[in-house]
Amino acid sequence: MSVIGIDFGNESCYVAAARSGGIETLANDYSLRATPSVVAFDGKKRIIGVAAKNQQVTNMKNTVSGFKRLLGRKFNDPHVQHELTSIPARVEARGDGSIGFKVNYLEEDQHFSPEQLTAMLFTKLKETSAAAMQTQVNDCVIACPIFFTNAERRALLDAAQIAGLNVLRLLNETTATALAYGFYKNDLFEEKPKNVIFIDFGHSALQVSACSFTKGKLKMLASTWDQIGGRDFDLAVAEFFAKEFQERYKINAKTNARANLRLLTEIEKLKKQMSANSTKLPLNIECFLEDIDVSSSMQRSQMEELCAPVLQRVEQTFKRLLAESKLQLDDIHSVEIVGGSSRIPSVKQLIEQVFNKPASTTLNQDEAVSRGAALQCA
Ligand code: ATP
Ligand code: MG
């Protein structure tokens, strides 16, 4: 029997386990390491992960994503209301004020809570890990954002329980990252402390921490965060293209949920290409709305302009961490980056500006959190 470490991301999940002396990130039923945090219902079938994401555009009403940030909260919570503006599924308040995702399943309308949806996702992770390791999986360590409240943590534990997972520990994502780093670096055993900054920039959050390693012991000096992530870049760019298409083609992408989702999907792809490329890149969507094909382009500098307010908040978060950690720039050994959005070049530039060190990629940017969680129980 094996213990797994789970990184439950707002966009995707990773699972790792200690195996034959090392830590391994496990592949799912599509031979992929990332399992999208998406659950869908189709007639009598429940579809989870890669397959769910693949059919989202054609089954929008019964496909649910973005539920991580709704755990343990009531429908009327302003945070929930804000989250709902970017969730395409149907979400309603239940009689007791809780959140219900409305889907058609087993030929009737049903409501599922964020906890139940998370449990379905966890069940899938449990099954795919058991298949990958060819052994039963019951125990796990789950990583959660450092800013999760007690209610959010309790909801996560409830979800794990519904999925039949025994949670040995909930671990902050920031701590998981630091543990993953400590495991691979063998120069951290010196008398003199080594101070390392960890930056996790994901889909929905930016979490930054300062840690000190002395003789292999890890001490958290400071942590800070902001509720911004990759999706905020996508939204800023989507706003721009929606306006352009309105002017050029007289179509309003925002009035159509499917068009909006397709636009955001294409923009996310474009954004990733822009991370590697500074030239102008095309954006083409066939039969976007009213049978009209749309085409446009964008280059990195333009995206940076559109996303200036997000980048400003990134910079402020970095500066806050530096101040709270009380570290001098010379005291910092390295700045390690994880999370998909840390690949954005202007984020790396800000790291260099604020911390006077280039962003370092010692860790696997996608898998570090799950690996740290797996290490905690190894
Ligand atoms: P969270 O930590 O907020 O719960 P998550 O763990 O699911 O979310 P990650 O998987 O770390 O998030 O990152 C996903 C985000 O990173 C997405 O917004 C995605 O568009 C973005 N991303 C991934 N690769 C790149 C890239 N090459 N360039 C720019 N952004 C990228
Ligand atoms: Mg994450």
Catalytic site residues?
7, 68, 173, 200
User: Considering all CA atoms of the chain, what is the largest pairwise distance in Å, rounded to the nearest integer?
Assistant: 68
The answer, yes or no, to whether any atom of ligand 1 lies below 6 A from the CB of 226, is no
CA–centroid distance, 8 to ligand 2, in Å, is 7
Tell me how far apart the alpha carbons of residues 17 and 378 are, in angstroms, rounded to a whole number: 8
ipTM above 0.85, yes or no: yes
Q: How many CB atoms lie within 10 A of CB 218?
A: 15
* H or E element, residue 148: none
Q: 64 with 89: CB under 8 angstroms?
A: yes
In a 3-state reduction of DSSP, which class is residue 362? coil
Tell me how far apart the alpha carbons of residues 18 and 373 are, in angstroms, rounded to a whole number: 10
Distances (CA, A) of 113 to 65, 72, 117, 153: 12, 10, 6, 15
Measured by CA distance, the residue closest to atom 24 of ligand 1 is: 340
In degrees, rounded to 5, the angle at the alpha carbon of residue 366 between the alpha carbons of residues 362 and 368 is 55
Query: What is the end-to-end Cα distance of the chain in Å, rounded?
Result: 12
Mutate-to-test residue for ligand 1 from 7, 11, 198, highest number of ligand atoms within 8 A of CB: 11
The answer, yes or no, to whether any atom of ligand 1 lies below 6 A from the CB of 343, is yes
Tell me how far apart the alpha carbons of residues 178 and 209 are, in angstroms, rounded to a whole number: 9
CA–centroid distance, 230 to ligand 1, in Å, is 6
Give the ranges where 277-327 is alpha helix by DSSP (H). 300-306, 308-325
Q: What is the pLDDT of residues 313-326, one digit of tens each?
A: 999 999 999 999 99
Q: What is the pLDDT along the chain (378 residues), one digit of tens a residue?
A: 689 999 999 999 999 998 877 899 999 999 999 999 999 999 999 999 999 999 999 999 999 999 999 999 999 999 999 999 988 899 999 999 999 999 999 999 999 999 999 999 999 999 999 999 999 999 999 999 999 999 999 999 999 999 999 999 999 999 999 999 998 777 777 778 899 999 999 999 999 999 999 888 899 999 999 999 999 999 999 999 999 999 999 999 988 999 999 999 999 999 999 999 999 999 999 999 999 999 999 999 999 999 999 999 999 999 999 999 999 999 999 999 999 999 999 999 999 999 999 999 999 999 999 999 999 876
Tell me how far apart the alpha carbons of residues 134 and 127 are, in angstroms, rounded to a whole number: 10
CA–centroid distance, 157 to ligand 1, in Å, is 24
Q: What is the dihedral of CA 229, 234, 240, 241, to 10 degrees?
A: 180
The answer, yes or no, to whether any atom of ligand 1 lies below 6 A from the CB of 5, is no
Contacts of residue 346, defined as CB under 8 A and 6 or more positions apart, other chains included, come to 304, 307, 311
Rounded (10°) angle between helices 230-249 and 257-276: 120
List domains and CATH numbers for the chain: 2-63+118-172+372-376 (3.30.420.40), 191-229+310-360 (3.30.420.40), 231-306 (3.90.640.10)
Short-list 36, 6, 84, 2, CA closest to 203: 36
Q: What pLDDT was estimated at residue 157?
A: 98
Measured by CA distance, the residue closest to atom 9 of ligand 1 is: 202
Q: Which residues line ion ligand 2, judged by CB < 5 Å?
A: 9, 202
The answer, yes or no, to whether any atom of ligand 1 lies below 6 A from the CB of 232, is no
The answer, yes or no, to whether any atom of ligand 1 lies below 6 A from the CB of 340, is yes
Q: Which residue has the tokens 């954004």?
A: 271
Measured by CA distance, the residue closest to atom 6 of ligand 1 is: 9
Phi-psi region of 290 (alpha: psi -120 to 50; beta: other; left: phi over 0): left
Ligand nearest to the CA of 68: 1
Which atom of ligand 1 is found nearest the CA of 10? 4
The answer, yes or no, to whether any atom of ligand 1 lies below 6 A from the CB of 36, is no
Tell me how far apart the alpha carbons of residues 7 and 364 are, in angstroms, rounded to a whole number: 13
